[in-house]
Structure 1
Amino acid sequence: MSLLTGKIVCVTGSSRGIGRACAIECAKHGATGLVLHYFGDDVTEGEIRSLKAEIEGAYTYAKVATVPGDIADPATAVKAIAVGVESFGRIDVLVSNAGICPFADFLTMPHATWERTRQVNLDGTFYVTQAVANQMKTQVPQGGAIIGISSISALVGGGTQCHYTPTKAGILSLMQSCAIALGKYNIRANAVLPGTIATDINKEDLADEKKKDGMIQRTCLRRLGGESISVSQSISSQTSSLAPDDIAGPVVFLASDLAKYVTGASLLVDGGLFVNLQ
């Protein structure tokens, strides 16, 4: 079933992890245009080239436009939307995913760590959401779907995440307020709250096998997100090893017309981690 046939989708932070999986899943479900933002250093440059080649090779109807830049810079958001409109004429879906989580002790945390985390995670989400909303308001037909990638950390604390959890709570709140502000323009805004997903952002933290096993045992499904990936759910085995498609599926749902009456919602996707208090 192609849920996004003909849709134009913009994904920030798309070179790896959740963003990469979302880009692949959107193409799989029929998106014909993908605007893929990435940071722009040597590493992400290579990753985005391989992603573009994989998508356009596997899904011949899908075309990819790429946009490098620091999402904490408002100009990057403006450029991403402009490239999308220039390449495809409109933007139907935004997946605001770019984010960082440099684990740090609260009492000794440099203020620069707080500033950078807020700038990338929360400020960047605000900038790209505002830019795409202005485009969705003016395009014909009017409207679109905005999905902010928040986190279970918007609901619970973390001793080495005192700088990170407030940004994810802010993204959740931003999506709720945008649902109110933008509904009259036929723009939906929703948040996805991943639990612990095996990606580069937390690979060092999960290298502690005792901690990792504890997290697995706390989930109702007894696995971390992204750790049980079938070959049919990814383009290549190289991608599937870290492809967190557990999040990409719910993102596609919220982007699609199946969710046409869903806005201001928060979808917790955590394998039952949050509810398992016993």
Structure 2
Amino acid sequence: MLLANKTVIVTGASRGIGRAVALECARQGARVIIGHSGSAQGRTAAFSLMEEISGFGSHGIEVGSDAADPDTGARLVTAALDAFGGVDVFVNNAGICPFHSFLDMPRETYLRTVDTNLNGAYFAVQAAANQMKKQGSGGAIIAVSSISALVGGGMQTHYTPTKAGLHSLMQSCAIALGPYGIRCNTVLPGTIATDINQEDLADEEKRAYMIRRTTLGRLGAPEDIAGPVVFLASDMARYVTGAALLVDGGMFVNLQ
């Protein structure tokens, strides 16, 4: 029960990595605020997740609000305060990756990606940090970035800068928020099989190549990210801040 009696906000929690993180936080004793897009599909998935969380003897509430909206973070924090009295952990996970070539990148695709993955995240982290400072007992902020923060992608020229930006944001926030006992760290997943890349990985040749690149010989699953996030959120990582943890099955180091 590494997160017993802690309140955790997870953005993009209705599916994929966010859902796995929310479930593992609940399994470890946390109360969870489930951030999702606010769509009918997102709401249905969030209520299903709430039922699973209750099965662990924990509590979850859902908040539907677009991750690209600068006010979403404040809504999540307010919900946490109303339901559980505070915020101990904030996990910024929400993100999109609509694959597209660079030379004909639609302006709206670029702007939507940056607003969702980075701009909205900035203000959400700010809202959580202000509440943690007000509480006076520290806290933990974890950004789910990507191996794409460290390497390029020809069809991801709009996406990789946002993930590098999240990593940089956590480094700077570690300095800005350290005096208040707030730790800020980044998790950098490799290729995780979720619906965000389902179409891309439907190409069997590319899927096989990505598996070969991964030294552990398989693609990642959302649950592979949940454990590292819980560690960084817990008191076991009480002296860890400004760090970046690759969770990629060895893909980054494999040059063969």
TM-score by length of 2: 0.99
Residue 15 of structure 2 corresponds to: 16
Write the deviation string for residues 96-120 of structure 1: whole angstroms up to 9, x where unpaired: 0000000001011111111000000
Paired residue for 2:252?
A: 274
Alpha-carbon offset, residue 54 of structure 1: 1.2
Question: Offset of 1:59 from its aligned partner?
Answer: 1.2
| Maintained 8 Å contact 2:81/2:87 | yes
| 1:73-84 map, 5 Å | 73-84=69-80
After superposition, the C-alpha distances for 1:209-255 in whole angstroms (9 at most, x for unaligned) are 110000001111000001xxxxxxxxxxxxxxxxx110000000000
2:46 pairs with 1:48: yes
SS in 1 for 2:81: helix
Distance in 2 (alpha carbons) for counterparts of 1:75 and 1:129 = 11
* Equivalent position to 2:242, from 260, 264, 267: 264
Structural mapping, 1:1-278, within 5 Å: 2-31=1-30, 33-56=31-54, 58-60=55-57, 62-140=58-136, 142-226=137-221, 244-278=222-256
Q: Cα RMSD between the aligned structures? A: 0.7
Show structure 1 runs of 5+ residues with no match.
227-243
* TM-score normalised over the length of structure 1: 0.91
Counterpart in the other structure of 1:229? none
Identity across aligned pairs (percent)? 61
Q: How far apart, in 2, do the equivalents of 1:37 and 1:82 lie? A: 12
Moved over 6 A (4+): none
Q: Which moved more, 1:68-77 or 1:249-258?
A: 68-77
How many Å separate the matches in 2 of 1:43 and 1:36? 14
Superposed displacement of residue 91, structure 1: 0.5
TM-superposed CA distance for 1:63, in Å, is 1.1
**Where in structure 2 are there 5+ consecutive unaligned residues?**
none
3-state SS of 2:71 partner: helix
